[in-house]
């Protein structure tokens, strides 16, 4: 079992369906992760303790997802120097703009690397890229993942050129 290097946190279990994409990507890259539910507003004390203790427990990156203007990722940045990747979760209002802006618009000095709305898979891959700067085996896995994406497009286009455009197979 790989050592746990990434903490994936979310504001509510209602975020799980999106956030599991980060765990899946990290798994593909051979990086251990843990998941937890915590809220910047509903459980501020517990969240602060988790973020403040993350470095001491060996975590390298934190991925934080929250919907509405809950800005869990920003709260994480306030308590640790570790890199924070924010995942804005699509809610019921404003097409996710509330969450996107509350996650991305951090004050100078406290960056949150924000991925697309519901972009948890990319958050996992970005965490892998960060960890890969110090672990060549992880960097190799990131490169292989990208190559898979390239190969898929090339194969699809080759098929289109042979048999004409087709809708994706289910
Ligand atoms: C945020 O409020 C959570 O991250 C979630 O996306 C949203 C709604 O939470 P629930 O009411 O579903 O628990 O804090």
Percent of the chain surpassing pLDDT 90: 97
Q: Average pLDDT, stretch 55-71?
A: 97
* Any ligand 1 atom below 6 A from CB of 89: yes
Distance CA 20, CA 33 (A): 11
The CA 3 to ligand 1 mean position distance, Å, reads 29
**Per-residue model confidence as pLDDT tens digits over 138-168:** 999 999 999 999 999 999 999 999 999 999 9
* Any ligand 1 atom below 6 A from CB of 39: yes
Q: Using an 8 Å Cβ cutoff, are 105 and 112 in contact?
A: no
The CA 115 to ligand 1 mean position distance, Å, reads 18
The CA 170 to ligand 1 mean position distance, Å, reads 31
pLDDT value for 2: 85
Tell me, yes or no, if the pTM score tops 0.75: yes
Q: Which residues contact 138 (CB under 8 A, 6 or more apart)?
A: 29, 30, 31, 128, 131, 132
Q: Which run of H or E residues covers position 7?
A: strand 4-10
Q: Extract the tokens encoding 138.
A: 């992880």
pLDDT band at 30 (very low <50, low <70, confident <90, very high): very high
Asked if the model's pLDDT at residue 78 lies above 90, the reply is yes
């Amino acid at each position: 079992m790989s050592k746990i290097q990434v903490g994936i946190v979310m504001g509510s279990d209602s975020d799980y369906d999106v956030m599991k994409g980060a765990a899946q990507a990290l798994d593909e890259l051979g990086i251990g992760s843990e998941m937890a539910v915590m809220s910047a507003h509903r459980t501020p004390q517990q969240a602060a303790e988790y973020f403040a203790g993350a470095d001491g427990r060996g975590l390298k990156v934190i991925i934080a997802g929250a919907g509405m203007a809950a800005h869990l990722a920003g709260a994480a940045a306030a308590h640790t120097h570790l890199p924070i990747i924010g995942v804005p979760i699509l809610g019921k209002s404003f097409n996710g703009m509330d969450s996107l802006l509350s996650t991305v618009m951090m004050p100078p000095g406290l960056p949150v690397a924000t991925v697309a709305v519901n972009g948890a898979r990319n958050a996992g891959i970005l965490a892998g890229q960060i960890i890969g700067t110090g672990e060549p085996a992880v960097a190799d896995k990131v490169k292989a993942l990208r190559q898979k994406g390239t190969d898929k497009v090339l194969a699809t286009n080759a098929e289109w050129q042979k048999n004409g455009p087709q809708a994706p197979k289910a």
